[in-house]
Amino acid sequence: MFSFSLTRLNEPCSRYVLRAGGLALLIFAGVSVASANDSVTGATIGYTCMGCHGVNGQSPGPIPSIAGQSAERLTTQMMAYRDGSKSGTIMNRIAKGYTPEEIKAVAAFFAQQPAK
Amino acid sequence: MTMNRRNFLKTSIGVAGAASLSACSMNKMASHSGRKAHVVVVGGGFGGATAAKYIRQFDPNIAVTLIDAHANHVTCPFSNLVLAGEKTMADITMNFDSLRSQHDVNVVQGLVTEIDGVNRKLKLADGQTFTYDRLVLSPGIDFKYEAIEGYSAKVAANQMPHAWQAGSQTELLRRQLEAMPDGGLFIMSAPANPFRCPPGPYERASLVASYFKKHKPKSKILILDAKSKFAKQGLFEAGWQSEYPGMIEWVSMDMGGAVNQVDPAMMTVTAADVHKGNVVNIIPPQKAGKIAFDSGLTDQTGWCPVNQKTYESSLVPNIHVVGDSSIAGPLPKSGYSANSEAKICAAAIVALVNGRSAPEPSWVNTCYSLVAPDYGISVASVYKYEEGKTVSVKGAGGVSPKNGNKRLEAVYAQGWYDSITQDIWKS
């Protein structure tokens, strides 16, 4: 469901995504949620990350920016935090809170944000 | 002055038309005239300001008015660094300019005195009235002064500050700590659960200790606690031992730490024993903000029960309560929680206004505490929605490991502050 709705977004809406950041994604995510029942969208998870990683993943301070990185790289890193093969200060504890599908969805969300 | 929704829209159009001759102004006018709902947000702190921004971002066709009693918001996070002399009040003071200029939020300064949930109206102390389709209330905390004999709002403002709402009492407590002689005693009382910022009192003790260590090394800190355990306790106690040996004493409830009386004239604090301090910081037990009580939004716990998916009050329809005043399941009363809750609430309101069901939520809380300006520790949790409840995701979250990188976590504490304040007030 996620990959379907996000892939669908990537193509025709990329202009909107770039211009309006998460807005277009959330509106579409809302639509996709209606058909995806109880799935959490990558956008919904993504907004909770911004408290540390900055607006749309563009960090203004010393916490790493995650906006505009490839979805593959973000997924690999989150999965490595999740299984403990990569050590962070706090990310191991946070990454364990998500399923692999949720990690892929939030990685796709931040991959769509303009890099800082 | 009475301002109903139609007048509000007219005024907004007038302002947009008069203020801007750019190509954007036509779009702006069009969007104003086509607005489908008016959301009023009460409170411009971590919860309210986030809700206002994100409702506008998620659906520009919803008009948002934000009402706050003050022209600025002074953040509780990092106010302990002001007490330690490491930050200034200016560093922790946020304004609402971005909400106005970048999100077209109608920001109004005033005190909400009355909410009429039946007719969806509210009134300010100066007589202004507003109507709303949905109301977001994020009033923060109020104090149970009466739980401690001799304590009151007046005593707090003048002699024994709580400084648990950042502002003038933060400045008062800082002045008192600066004036305290070396070798003096700083007494703090920590409240029973639940209260704003569970690790906050212990971070405060730590950062005041860092100030004493540099400037008044013979001084002592006594924490009298109405609890027998506290957030990040093992990490704090290890830090106190390594950074400030012998300086901080914590008296748990079990050991007679619960404060039941103060005497501001004598500067005494009574728990199981009577203690006399040079500076006294009483953090009283807490409850939801006053307007939540006055509007019938609280239950017998003194906090506001809400639908965990939308934050709509279980008691009054069309009013959503976020932040410290709400009962948000296992989410602690923190700025990060309020920000996370407000985004879920904003998405839910936008969905409901547009005739959709609220999206499936997901939350994070991350709280950094500073044991010293260069010594950070953290706690994190991830939450999901399950059968009508907010639950912690099992196997995730927890506190920093004992051998964690304290220096880097202190850097990230600053990074967190930079990011979350930008998210809420500066973008």
- Tens-place pLDDT, residues B321-367: 999 999 999 999 999 999 999 999 999 999 999 999 999 999 999 99
Query: What is the amino acid identity at position B39?
Result: V
B427–A94 C-beta distance less than 8 A: no
Inside any domain, residue B8 = no
As a whole number of angstroms, the distance between CA B360 and CA A45 comes to 10
Please name the residue that has the structure tokens 């929704």. B5
Summarised one tens digit per residue, pLDDT across range B251-272 is 999 999 999 999 999 999 999 9
Is the Cβ pair B414, A61 closer than 8 Å? yes
ipTM value for the complex: 0.89
Residue B151 lies in a domain: yes
Instruction: Indicate if the pLDDT at residue B101 is higher than 70.
Output: yes
CA distances from B118 to B5, B123, B358 (A): 16, 14, 23
The shortest CB-CB distance from A63 to any of B58, B381, B419 is to B419
Q: Which long-range contacts (CB under 8 A, 24 or more apart) does B316-319 make?
A: B316/B117, B317/B117, B318/B117, B318/B120, B318/B132, B318/B133, B318/B134, B318/B135, B319/B115, B319/B117, B319/B134, B319/B135, B319/B136, B319/B137, B319/B295
Same-domain status, B104 and B231: no
Number of independent structural domains in chain B: 2
Q: Where are the domains of chain A?
A: 2-111
B219/B263 same-domain check:
yes
Q: Are residues B129 and B193 both part of a single domain?
A: no
**Closest listed residue to residue B420, CA positions, set B346, B364, B374:** B364
Considering the domain architecture, whether residues B172 and B275 belong to the same structural domain is answered as yes
CB contact under 8 A, B398 and A54: no
Nearest to B418 among A21, A60, A93 (CB): A60
Would you state the structure tokens that stand for residue A9, as one six-digit string? 């977004």
Q: What mean pLDDT comes out for the span B392-415?
A: 97
In this structure, the answer to whether residues B157 and B268 fall within a common structural domain is yes
- In this prediction, residues B129-146 reach a mean pLDDT of 98
Please provide the average confidence, as pLDDT, over all residues in chain B: 93
Residues of chain A in contact with residue B352, where contact means CB-CB under 8 angstroms, are: none
Q: Which of B362, B395, B423 sits opposite A55 (nearest CB)?
A: B423
DSSP states of B112-153: EEEEETTTTEEEETTS-EEE-SEEEE---EEE-GGGSBT--H
Given this model, what pLDDT does residue A37 score? Answer: 52
Pick among B423, B424, B426 to test the A interface (most A CBs inside 10 A)? B423
- 3-class DSSP state for residue B229? coil
CB contact under 8 A, B366 and A33: no
Instruction: Find the CATH number of the domain harbouring B237.
Output: 3.50.50.60
B175 assigned to some structural domain:
yes
Q: Are residues B68 and B124 in the same domain?
A: yes
Q: Are residues B161 and B263 in the same domain?
A: yes
Q: Write down the pLDDT at residue B241.
A: 98
Of the options 1.10.760.10, 1.10.8.50, 1.10.1060.10, 3.40.50.2300, the CATH number for the domain spanning A2-111: 1.10.760.10
CB pairs under 8 A between A and B: 132
CA distance A10 to chain B (A): 18
CA of A86: how far to CAs of A95, A111, B378, in Å? 11, 21, 18
pLDDT-based confidence at B5, cuts 50/70/90? very low
Single-letter amino acid code for the residue at B62 = I
Q: Residue B217: which domain range?
A: 147-285
